[in-house]
Amino acid sequence: MHKFSEEALESGIYCKKCKNLLPEDAFKVNKKTGKLIKPCKTCRNKYFIKYRKKNWAKFREKHRLAMQRYRKAHPEKAKEQNRKDRERYKERRLAHMIEELKTVKDEIVPF
Q: In whole angstroms, give the CA distance from residue 62 to residue 78.
A: 18
Q: Which is nearer to Zn ion, 18 or 29 (CB)?
A: 18
Continuous segment of H or E residues that includes residue 13: strand 13-15
Q: In whole angstroms, give the CA distance from residue 1 to residue 29.
A: 26
Q: What is the DSSP letter of 108?
A: S
- What is the nearest approach in angstroms of Zn ion to the Cβ of residue 42? 5
Stretch binding Zn ion (CB under 5 A), from 7-15, 57-65, 70-78, 85-93: 7-15
* Site map 11..50 versus Zn ion, x via CB under 5 A: ----x-xx--------------------xx--x-------
